[in-house]
Amino acid sequence: MNPELLATLRKWQASDDPVERAHAEWRLTQPDQVEQLEPTESDAARAVRLIQENPPENTMGKPCGACSDR
- Structural domain includes residue 52: no
45 vs 68, residue with greater confidence: 45
Give the SS3 label for residue 32. coil
Domain membership of residue 19 as a residue range: 1-29
Tell me, yes or no, whether 22 lies in a domain. yes
**pTM attached to this predicted model:** 0.45
Choose among 65, 61, 5: nearest CA to 32: 5
pLDDT score at 2: 85
Question: What are 5-29's pLDDT values in tens digits?
Answer: 999 999 999 999 999 999 999 999 9
Is 12 part of a structural domain of the chain? Answer: yes
Count how many Cα atoms sit within 13 Å of the Cα of residue 1 in the half-sphere of its side chain: 15
19 within some domain: yes
Q: Cα–chain-centroid distance for residue 33?
A: 17
Domain count, the chain: 1
Q: Which residues lie below 8 Å from residue 10, measured CB to CB, with a gap of 6+?
A: 24
* pLDDT at residue 67, rounded to an integer: 61
